[in-house]
Amino acid sequence: MIPPVVLNAEKGKAILDVAAAPGAKTTQIAQYVENEATIVANDVKYSRINILISNLQRCCAMAHVTMCDGRKFGRFGERFDYVLLDAPCSNVGMARKNYKYAKIWSLREVMALSRLQKQLILSAYDSLKKGGILVYSTCTLDPLEDEEVVDHLLANRDAEVEEIDAPVKGVEPITEFEGRKYSEEVRKCLRVHPQCNDTEGFFVARIRKPE
Amino acid sequence: MPGVKKIRGDVRELLQEQFGIECDYVFYEGGKGKIYATREIPEFLRKVVHSGIYVGRIERDGFRLSMDGAALLGKHAKKCVVDIGDEDVEKWMRGEDISISQSVDCRYVILRWRGFYVGCGKVVNGAVKNYVPKNRRIV
């Protein structure tokens, strides 16, 4: 998966996966750091935690599993070197895999998710140490859940968006939507549509907290 | 963390004695006598529901590593590691016991195939008793 590749975590560091279940990205990170890092895998739902623990065990990935609202991590202060926020989203990018996501799509739901994602990204950023890296990703293509969330972070914190060097083709990120203009910095994000690489659609942003 | 009990004996010493394993993991006992390996839990984390990997259990005759325990700790082992071939690994992953040609003075051995640690078994009369979980066997 692309987000752990973009995160590019190093051994011996503290890593947080805010919405970890079912654990595919967490296990990938653990594999990259060869279990030589403190990984915290969090999820809010108990039913998903069991699947997460089972997958971590099966893939021999060492992590501390926590069950709390991801919006609370900011309260702990600057604790993590790397944070992966694969935020809950409307899953429109997965519509090709499961058409259900396109059928149940609603603007009201997108607005609610966008509000949640904005709170999550601020909390995730606040839990980063200075010089730390935050990767924000979703599997949706709605600008309200992608560029707008990154723009919200840029407007409220001193975050810097970094260019992503990943071996995938993407399209130009959206800088204006429904009369709202986003920061030019969002151009550095990676927006992948299903037709680009014959994959699901997704969005990834790599954000650094200045020293 | 719920379900955590004090460890019977020193697991680190047992692993050192049995397999020559030296590592910096923290071990704790979970439910049903299962031993887990983990790293220090940061103090600020309050609601940790699970931590680390199930690495094995203490049997009457020694420490029996789980499949994941062998994968995690096998690289640190200095003794009781047996290399097996393609035919044996297939039998092992099917859930069958395998016989080992080399003589070993160990109750439990870690099996290694082409550098991969594929599990741990009990040596009984020159054969290694299979402990591969049923949901991980190849059919």
The domains of chain A are located at 2-208
Query: Which residue type is seen at A52?
Result: L
Task: Give residue B56's domain range.
Answer: 11-136
Contacts of A13 (CB under 8 A, 6+ apart): A33, A37, A38, A81, A82
Across the interface, whether the CB atoms of B53 and A57 are under 8 A apart is answered: yes
| Whole-number pLDDT of residue B66 | 96
Tokens 């030589």 belong to residue: A36
**B4 occurs within a structural domain:** no
Minimum distance, in Å, between the CA of residue B38 and any CA atom of chain A: 7
B53 closest CB neighbour out of A62, A76, A77: A62
Q: How many domains does chain B have?
A: 1
Mutual orientation of helices A147-156 and A107-126 as an angle, nearest 10°? 40
A-B CB pairs within 8 A amount to 53
DSSP calls for A7-23 = H---TTSEEEETT-TT-
**B2 occurs within a structural domain:** no
Q: Which CATH architecture has domain A2-208?
A: 3-Layer(aba) Sandwich (3.40)
- Residue B102: pLDDT band with limits 50, 70, 90: confident
Residues of B in contact with A61 (CB under 8 A): 53
Contact A91/A139 with Cβ under 8 angstroms?
yes
Residues of B in contact with A65 (CB under 8 A): 48-51
**B17 occurs within a structural domain:** yes
| Whole-number pLDDT of residue B19 | 95
- Residue B7: pLDDT band with limits 50, 70, 90: low
Instruction: Tell me if chain A has a CB within 8 Å of the CB of B39.
Output: yes
Contact A158/A117 with Cβ under 8 angstroms?
no
HSE (side-chain half, CA atoms, 13 Å) at B59:
13
**B3 occurs within a structural domain:** no
Is A139 labeled as catalytic in the residue annotation? yes
| Whole-number pLDDT of residue B31 | 81
Query: Is residue B6's pLDDT more than 80?
Result: no
Query: Is residue A196's pLDDT more than 60?
Result: yes
Q: Determine which of B36, B41, B53, B76 to mutate to test the interface with A (most A C-beta atoms within 10 Å).
A: B53
Q: For B85-98, what is each residue's pLDDT tens digit? A: 999 999 999 999 99
- Give the CATH number, domain containing residue B91: 3.10.450.720
Minimum distance, in Å, between the CA of residue A129 and any CA atom of chain B: 14
**B21 occurs within a structural domain:** yes
Residues of B in contact with A67 (CB under 8 A): 47, 49
**B6 occurs within a structural domain:** no
A67 closest CB neighbour out of B40, B41, B47: B47
